[in-house]
Amino acid sequence: MATFKKSGKKTMPAISTGSLPDIVFMILLFFMVTTTMRQTEHMVMVNLPAASEISKLERKDLSSYIYVGTPLKKYQGKYGTDSRIQLNDSFRTVDEIRDFVAAERENLSEQDRPFMTVNIKADKDTRMGIITDIKQELRRCNALKILYGANAVE
C-alpha cells in the first residue's frame, strides 16, 4: 500500500520576496496616478453641511474653489472671527472674486471654459448674506455653474 509519509524535518519553504519591489512599485504607481496634491492651505475653518441628494463632480480640473468660513485661530487676531472668503491662499473680499474668476478662466483651455464650475465650500454656520453676495458677484462675472459643497449623509 502506497502511503505518503510525512518526513519529520520538513519545514515550510521561505516565501520568495523577489517580487516585492514589483508589488510595491505597482501600489506606488497607483498612488502617483490618482494623487492630486493639496494646492491650497486652508485658512478658514470649513465644516461642510450634510446633504443626501448630492452628486459627484465629474471633472475636478474644471473647478475653482471659494472657501467661506471663520478664519483659523492663528489668523483670528488679524482678521477677526467673522466669516471671510478665501480665494487661493489669501483672504479676499467679494469684489475680488471677479479677478479670481477671470484668472481661473484664463487657465482653462478654450473649449473647457463654458464648463467651469465654481465650488463653494462654505462652513455650515456661515450666514447666507455672504453667500448671496458671492452668488450675485458670480452672476455678474457670468460664472453660472456652481456647486454647493456638501458631505454625504445616509
Partner 1 sequence: MASKKTPEINGSSMADIAFIALIFFLMVTTMDQEKGLPRRLPPMPDENMKLENEKVNRRNIVVVKINVNDRVFAGDEPIDVSQLKDKIVEFLTNPLNREDLPEKVVKDIEGFGPYPVSKGVISLQNDRGTTYSQYIAVQNELVKAINIIRDDFSRAHYGKAYAELDDAKQKIVRKCIPQQISEAEPKDTKLQK
The least distance separating partner 1 from the CB of residue 125, rounded to whole angstroms, comes to 6
Least distance in angstroms from the C-beta of 78 to partner 1: 24
Cβ proximity to partner 1: between 7 and 52 the closer is 52
Contact map string, positions 70 to 109, toward partner 1, x by CB under 8 A:
----------------------------------------
3-state secondary structure 103-120: HHHHHCCHHHHHHCEEEE
Confirm or reject binding of residue 111 to partner 1 (CB under 8 A): no
Find the angle CA(93)-CA(82)-CA(140) to the nearest 5 degrees. 30
CA angle 55, 59, 62 (to 5 degrees): 115
Among 102, 103, 112, 144, binds partner 1 (CB under 8 A): 144
Task: Give the Cα separation of 65 and 19 in Å (integer).
Answer: 43
We find the least distance from the C-beta atom of residue 110 to partner 1, in angstroms, to be: 21
Collapsing DSSP to helix, strand or coil, 31 comes out as: helix
**H or E element that contains 13:** none
Give the whole-angstrom CA distance, residue 110 versus residue 57.
Answer: 20
**Is 146 among the residues that bind partner 1 (CB under 8 A)?**
yes
Footprint of partner 1 (CB under 8 A): 17, 20-21, 24-25, 27-28, 31-32, 34-38, 49-57, 60, 63, 68, 117, 119, 122-129, 131-132, 135-136, 138-140, 142, 144-152
